[in-house]
Chains A and B, each alone.
Chain A
Amino acid sequence: GDSVTQMEGPVTLSEEAFLTINCTYTATGYPSLFWYVQYPGEGLQLLLKATKADDKGSNKGFEATYRKETTSFHLEKGSVQVSDSAVYFCALRQETSGSRLTFGEGTQLTVNP
């Protein structure tokens, strides 16, 4: 079945550091790919998405490119802020099986001033 693997956390960075969170997936067909963010005590919010190979999703300084050849969707940001501290989830969605979202384990990011 479909699966998503994220780099293990937690990740701790200083403010203005470069961020990469790795995400790889296994899926049949051509899934859509998503990054969600969860701030403490809240639900999940969509951060960005890409729906086909070589698409780049971007939002709030975060970017991720859909790489079909490496089945990856790594999240990057050039300069993180304290307010970016949260849990980040990579996920995929297919047309089949009720179009459910399949999630990675999540990566806790802490940014220190």
Chain B
Amino acid sequence: NAGVTQTPKFRVLKTGQSMTLLCAQDMNHEYMYWYRQDPGMGLRLIHYSVGEGTTAKGEVPDGYNVSRLKKQNFLLGLESAAPSQTSVYFCASSSTLYNSPLHFGNGTRLTVT
């Protein structure tokens, strides 16, 4: 039972570098989400997707791009990393029922120096 898998688990970037975070789910969920977690701020939604080929902006989308080319994968890209993007990133997925829970991956800890 893999659930939601995120890669990599840790990454250190220099300012201006780019990277892609990969999220994969094996539950056939339609909805997928990227959140960032910062101390004292809970989790904030970056981008989300309600189906293959669709994406939408969340609360804090600036500096990030996403793609959902396959139903099971949701990629988060940082084109030019900034120190303000140092955070822990969580991917989640769910069914379309709004009373069902989101299932989370174990997170990617990103440090931008």
Give chain A's interface residues, CB within 8 Å of chain B. Answer: 4, 32, 34, 36, 41-46, 49, 51, 89, 93-95, 98-101, 103-106
Contacts and interface: CB of A to CB of B under 8 A. Distances in A.
A99 B90 contact: no
Contacts of B44: 103
A89 B33 CA distance: 17
B56 A98 contact: yes
Nearest to B4: A43
A36 B92 CA distance: 13
B91 to A, nearest CB: 9
B48 interface: yes
A99 B107 contact: no
B104 A44 contact: yes
Given A43-B106, A100-B33, A100-B48, 14 more contacts: A4-B42, A32-B98, A34-B101, A43-B105, A46-B101, A89-B43, A98-B48, A98-B56, A99-B31, A100-B45, A101-B33, A101-B43, A101-B102, A105-B41
B1 interface: no
Contacts of B42: 4, 89, 103-106
Contact of B98 (A41, A95, A103, A106): A95
Query: A-B pairs with the 3 shortest C-beta distances?
Result: A43-B104, A51-B99, A103-B42
B112 interface: no
B61 interface: no
Interface-central residue, B48, B90, B104, B105, by most chain A CB under 10 Å: B104
